[in-house]
Structure 1
Amino acid sequence: MRTFRNILFWIHLIVGVATGLVIAIMSFTGVVIAFEKQLIEWAEREVRTVQLPAPGARRLPVEELVERVRASGSEGQPSGVTVYPEPTSAVLVSIGRGAVSYVNPYTGEVLGNGATGLRGFFQWNVGLHRWLAAGGDNRAVGKAITGASNAVFLFLAISGLYLWWPRKWTLRAMRPSLWFRRGLKGKARDWNWHNVIGFWSLPVLIVLTASGMVISYKWASSLVFTVTGNTPPATKGPPGSATVKVPAPEEETPRQPLDVLIAEAQRTSPTWSSATLRLGGGAGGGKEGVDAVTVTLREADAWPLFSSKQVSVNPFSGEVAKQETYADYSSGRKLRTWLRFLHTGEALGLWGQLVAAIASLGGVFLVYTGFALSWRRFFPRRRTNSEPGEDAAAQSEPAV
């Protein structure tokens, strides 16, 4: 048992040093992007609101609003439209994958692209978190490195628990590992911080890293479906992302206005709080049919908090072809979706995001203290007198 503990300790130390920098980057960026949505909403609070010209004022067609954005010279092509039930809310037009434009639904005035600097800052940090901000062909390499480092972090968390596990469950033996001690310096302080932060962060870090593996690796995502007795989805991308097909019209038929398609989807949910339509649809043909238009509805007081309703509408007839809510998911897809939003803490709202951010910050300190302890182990300073408290910590530290 002692030999196994020694071997595990050195593996823990070596792989921690080898991947520590990437783990620190992922942990730090996890803190930075924890409240991305809330901060962007706050920064764009003024441009999101317009003045109502008169009660019951007529809104311009969604197609016209999209064309106004195209004509404004925005870089990239509009990819989606989001409308809100409040009469004083602007319409949000998504451009590509990261940019947006707000449009006055009554006048067609393009109000601007929101907090572009803040959005760019978060987008860069998300790229750094996911693939080390690599671009082009190097993005796959960056993603492989972050995925492997996340898996190593999970191993470090579990092996760290084993190494922490006290031989005697007494308050005196456990106290140095359960709370911060005053007056410590150098090695004693780093050892105390490493153990205390690791202990209290451990449950959340295991959830964050395990859910990160499901996001990073197809086999891990498929395993979620397998263990719940479901068949893993064959299509690429998130579960449920496959396009719904509807029969192609036998004769040439004009497409229904986007307002009609959105309104048809809204009728399925009286409590909708936002409706997002992905531009496109109607593509394809032949035996498989054409792509339906997908409208995603967020509903007030929905549970789980991240749940939404996907409504697929025939772009030519305007009829609802399919509705899908969280309740319709298989048990595997439900678990997979929970893991996706547990990774960011959003599954539990603001408190969940706060806990995830604190644990991620703990990950930064774990890397720092781990590096410091490793440096002192490999390059010990020779001196006659120890700093106050260092001897006491040395007695508590596992002799490996």
Structure 2
Amino acid sequence: MRRLRPLLFWTHLMAGLLSGVVVLIMSVTGVLLTYQKQMTLWADLRGVQAGPPTPGATRLSADSLLRLVASRESKTPTTVVWRQGAAMPVEVQFGRAGRQYLNAYTGTVVGTGSASMRKLFSVATDWHRWLATSDESRKTGRLVTGWSNLAFLVLVLTGIVLWWPRVVKWSALRQVLWFRRGLSPKARDFNWHNVIGIWSAIPLAIIVASAAVISFPWASDLVYRAVGDTPPARAPEGAPVGGAAAGRPALGTEGGAVVPLVGDVAALATERMPDWRTVSLAWPKNAEAPLVYTLDRGMGGEPHKRATLTVSRTGEPAKWQPFSSQSEGRRARSIMRFAHTGEVLGFWGQTLAGLVSLGAAVLVYTGLYLSLRRFLAWRRRANTVPAATTA
């Protein structure tokens, strides 16, 4: 252990110096993105009046609602979202072209979303994922954040070992388990670095490891193989990806006729998932394509609370696919994806992830300052020795 500890220390130090600035950026932006979904929806619906116009009014069927949209829009929708609640509007998304919130009873447009809130989170996401690079440079930015994230994982794992006191006594553990007052700046940074590091080590390791699964295909494949599953095939690099309106007909039309949709979406959802919160319909590619609904009884980032319902246009029985019906590899991959944001555990998981991201920012700050002080002390010693020898 005496020989291993110096090796781990220098590995920890070098990984921190190489990745510190990038990790700091990802940590700060991670804090900003903690409640992205909740804040965006709040900003979108703030001041929106979408309740029934008169007592006892009934909602429009999906067919009637989308026919109204088709009569006034030329843009092609990508997704339609119904939310539980008598006063909740229906959201019609148009990919990058924006969205509209419709009164479910009248079909009138009651909102188009908060452009400023979405811009804020878009900028934070750009920095978090690829350091605000654009176009072709994003591939490089993504590699930098991905490898910096792996270096951060090394920091977390080596930090756990380095934190452990050489002599395991309560008096020694107490020094690094909680914040202490009245310390010099150097001792304070060391204390903060240790305390925050040990209390956040486990959730931080999960968040950082799950980020690798998002950043690198080989890490994603590793999740599948770890549970004995075969990774899914990927499209060749550079192959076109279906975008917002790729391969889809113009809004509400298929050869001039309105694309038929299921009328009572709420009843359809309630039959399968009584406690549903949202139902999302992916706009079909043509009049024969099945209708694919995603039912969610969670907050949007809890894959175990989602299910897919596929309704055939040919009269075949509907296909119901809850989370439990997926392969082990796909379930594990989905959990890892939302473990990164903490959403897999709902609101409290998000909160924990946000606090840990804030702690990570402090860890980087204190770590860099401790390294700088170590370097300055080394320079002073190096300058002192020649002077003493000359004298």
Superposition TM-score tier, normalisation by shorter sequence: 0.7 to 0.9
CA distance, structure 1, for counterparts of residue 256 and residue 121 of structure 2: 43
Contact 1:275 1:298 in 2 (8 A): yes
1:309 to 307, 315, 330: 307
CA distance, structure 1, for counterparts of residue 91 and residue 99 of structure 2: 7
Equivalent residues in 2 for 1:261-276, closer than 5 Å: 262=265, 265-266=268-269, 267-276=271-280
Corresponding residue of 1:363: 360
Contact 1:91 1:105 in 2 (8 A): yes
**1:47 deviation in Å?**
4.8
Q: Compared with structure 1, are the counterparts of its residues 196 and 8 closer, same or farther at alpha carbon in structure 2 (3 Å cutoff)?
A: same
Corresponding residue of 1:332: 329
Map Cα deviations across residues 61-112 of structure 1 (whole Å, 9 max, x no partner). Answer: 23234436736xxxx7532111134343211111315843211233332222
CA distance, structure 2, for counterparts of residue 361 and residue 88 of structure 1: 36
Q: Specify the SS of the correspondent of 1:63.
A: helix
Map Cα deviations across residues 171-217 of structure 1 (whole Å, 9 max, x no partner). Answer: 12222211111011221111111111111110111010111111111
CA distance, structure 2, for counterparts of residue 349 and residue 311 of structure 1: 23
Letter in 2 for 1:59: L
Are residues 1:295 and 2:299 paired?
Answer: no
Q: Specify the SS of the correspondent of 2:99.
A: strand
Corresponding residue of 1:41: 41
Corresponding residue of 1:394: none
Map Cα deviations across residues 106-140 of structure 1 (whole Å, 9 max, x no partner). Answer: 33322222222112111221221111122211111
Contact 1:281 1:293 in 2 (8 A): no
Letter in 1 for 2:214: I
Q: Compared with structure 1, are the counterparts of its residues 158 and 255 closer, same or farther at alpha carbon in structure 2 (3 Å cutoff)?
A: same
Equivalent residues in 2 for 1:103-142, closer than 5 Å: 103-142=102-141
Letter in 1 for 2:213: V
**1:30 deviation in Å?**
1.0
CA distance, structure 2, for counterparts of residue 313 and residue 124 of structure 1: 38
Corresponding residue of 1:59: 60
5+ residue gaps in structure 2?
243-254, 382-391
CA distance, structure 1, for counterparts of residue 373 and residue 157 of structure 2: 24
| TM-score for the superposition, normalised by structure 2 | 0.82
Corresponding residue of 1:8: 8
Q: Specify the SS of the correspondent of 2:277.
A: strand
**1:272 deviation in Å?**
2.9
Equivalent residues in 2 for 1:1-400, closer than 5 Å: 1-47=1-47, 49-54=49-54, 55-57=56-58, 59=60, 61-67=64-70, 70=73, 77-97=76-96, 99-235=98-234, 256-260=259-263, 262=265, 265-266=268-269, 267-282=271-286, 291-299=289-297, 307-314=305-312, 316-317=313-314, 319-380=316-377
| TM-score for the superposition, normalised by structure 1 | 0.81
Q: Compared with structure 1, are the counterparts of its residues 319 and 117 closer, same or farther at alpha carbon in structure 2 (3 Å cutoff)?
A: farther
Q: Specify the SS of the correspondent of 2:39.
A: helix
Query: Structure 1 stretches (4+) deviating beyond 4 angstroms?
Result: 252-256, 261-265, 300-306, 318-321
Q: Compared with structure 1, are the counterparts of its residues 375 and 282 closer, same or farther at alpha carbon in structure 2 (3 Å cutoff)?
A: same
Q: Specify the SS of the correspondent of 2:272.
A: coil
Letter in 2 for 1:324: Q
More displaced, 61-70 or 159-168? 61-70
Aligned residues: 360
**1:165 deviation in Å?**
1.8
Q: Compared with structure 1, are the counterparts of its residues 128 and 51 closer, same or farther at alpha carbon in structure 2 (3 Å cutoff)?
A: same
Map Cα deviations across residues 8-49 of structure 1 (whole Å, 9 max, x no partner). Answer: 212211221111011011111111111112222333344554
Letter in 2 for 1:33: L
CA distance, structure 1, for counterparts of residue 20 and residue 300 of structure 2: 39
> Greater helix share, 1 or 2?
2
Contact 1:262 1:295 in 2 (8 A): no
**1:236 deviation in Å?**
5.5
Contact 2:307 2:322 in 1 (8 A): yes
Letter in 2 for 1:175: R
Q: Compared with structure 1, are the counterparts of its residues 220 and 32 closer, same or farther at alpha carbon in structure 2 (3 Å cutoff)?
A: same
Aligned identity (percent) is 40
Q: Compared with structure 1, are the counterparts of its residues 94 and 58 closer, same or farther at alpha carbon in structure 2 (3 Å cutoff)?
A: closer
Aligned-CA RMSD value: 3.1
Q: Specify the SS of the correspondent of 1:167.
A: coil
Contact 2:277 2:297 in 1 (8 A): yes
Q: Specify the SS of the correspondent of 1:277.
A: strand
Q: Compared with structure 1, are the counterparts of its residues 32 and 273 closer, same or farther at alpha carbon in structure 2 (3 Å cutoff)?
A: same
More displaced, 143-152 or 100-109? 100-109
Letter in 1 for 2:128: H
CA distance, structure 1, for counterparts of residue 3 and residue 96 of structure 2: 52
Contact 2:302 2:346 in 1 (8 A): no
Q: Compared with structure 1, are the counterparts of its residues 345 and 303 closer, same or farther at alpha carbon in structure 2 (3 Å cutoff)?
A: closer
**1:231 deviation in Å?**
1.5
**1:280 deviation in Å?**
3.2
Map Cα deviations across residues 212-249 of structure 1 (whole Å, 9 max, x no partner). Answer: 11111111111111121111122469xxx99xxxxxxx
Letter in 1 for 2:58: A
Q: Specify the SS of the correspondent of 1:78.
A: coil
